[in-house]
């Protein structure tokens, strides 16, 4: 009887030990790969190059404009939504925010119902697609300190003048509807036609808070025609531009 029990225990150890060892050896990126293939590869592709089964999505706005959104090509190591300067990689928190909240006006949904650790594992896997993550040191995040005068009439007026002087209207139009004279000629870094944002829709992809608008003007949207104004505009000028943008979006009078 004792021998039978010993044999049974040995058999169980032989089965369970390799499984436990394999689980212990699995990296966060390995775990993230499984989640990525289940939820993300259909758009972003198994290689992370944006060539999944759903390679683009068309969306018609109320104005009649047709927006085409493309899955991000992670192999390029270029990201739009960052709190880091233009040309820099995003932070893990930046990526986690995008995975958690999704991106408005795009095919990127929210994954907030997936446990945080699994979302972080997906991010670890995403960082295996481009060598930039191993070759470059992380950049410092942009400091955000919103002045009390943002969205005041005086700030809005100054922002309107900056909008004109910086020729934002050439792409976004004088009315902010994205129908400026250069709007039909814009292409992203992959040579695909893109359209300037229509501010009057009242909902930005990153978010509609003043801080989110400011960070876009400061960091730019890498891979698109939207530049960074960190070097060309003073900090207070960027905040005035935020004020005017909020006016166009109908967030202030």
**Residue range 165-169: average pLDDT?**
98
CA 39 to chain centre: 17
The average pLDDT across 197-210 equals 89
Instruction: Tell me the pLDDT tens digit for each residue of 171-190.
Output: 999 999 999 999 999 999 99
- Pick from 161-165, 204-208, 239-243: least confident: 204-208
Q: How many CA atoms lie within 13 A of 170 on its CB side?
A: 9
Per-residue confidence band for 22, with pLDDT thresholds at 50, 70 and 90: very low
* Confidence bin at 24 (pLDDT 50/70/90): low
Say whether domain 153-248 belongs to CATH 1.10.760.10. yes
| Fold agreement (28-135, 153-248) | yes
Question: Which of residues 122 and 20 earns the better pLDDT score?
Answer: 122
Residue 247 has pLDDT above 90, yes or no: yes
Q: Is 253 or 178 the better-scoring residue by pLDDT?
A: 178
Domain boundaries, the chain: 28-135, 153-248
Q: Is the pLDDT of residue 5 over 50?
A: no
Question: Is residue 7 scored above 50 in pLDDT?
Answer: no
Task: Report the percent of the chain where pLDDT is more than 70.
Answer: 90
In angstroms, rounded to a whole number, what is the distance separating the alpha carbons of residues 146 and 214? 9
Q: What is the structure's pLDDT at 196? A: 93
For the domain spanning 28-135, the CATH number is 1.10.760.10
Which tens digits make up the pLDDT trace of 40-94?
999 999 999 999 998 888 887 777 777 788 999 999 999 999 999 999 999 999 9
pTM: 0.85
pLDDT at position 21 is: 35
């Amino acid at each position: 009887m004792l021998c039978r029990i010993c044999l049974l225990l040995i058999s169980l150890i032989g089965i369970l030990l390799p499984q436990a060892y394999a689980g212990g050896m699995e990296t966060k990126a390995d775990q993230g790969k499984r989640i990525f293939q289940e939820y993300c590869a259909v758009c972003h592709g198994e290689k992370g190059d944006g060539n999944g089964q759903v390679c683009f999505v068309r969306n018609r706005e109320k104005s009649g404009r047709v927006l085409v959104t493309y899955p991000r090509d992670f192999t390029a190591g270029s990201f739009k939504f960052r709190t880091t300067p233009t040309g820099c990689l995003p932070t893990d928190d930046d990526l986690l925010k995008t995975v958690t909240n999704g991106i408005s006006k795009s095919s990127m949904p929210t994954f907030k119902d997936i446990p945080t650790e699994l979302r972080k594992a997906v991010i670890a896997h995403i960082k295996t697609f481009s060598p930039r993550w191993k070759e470059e040191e992380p950049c410092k995040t942009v400091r955000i300190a919103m002045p009390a005068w943002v969205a005041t009439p005086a700030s809005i007026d100054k922002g309107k003048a900056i909008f004109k002087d910086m020729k934002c209207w050439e792409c976004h139009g004088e009315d902010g509807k994205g129908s400026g004279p250069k709007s039909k000629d814009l292409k992203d870094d992959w040579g695909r036609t893109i359209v300037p944002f229509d501010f009057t829709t009242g909902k930005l992809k990153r978010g509609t808070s003043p801080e989110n608008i400011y960070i876009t003007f400061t960091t730019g949207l890498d891979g698109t025609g939207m530049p960074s104004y960190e070097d060309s505009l003073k900090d207070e000028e960027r905040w005035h531009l935020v004020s005017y943008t909020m006016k166009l979006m109908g967030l202030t009078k």
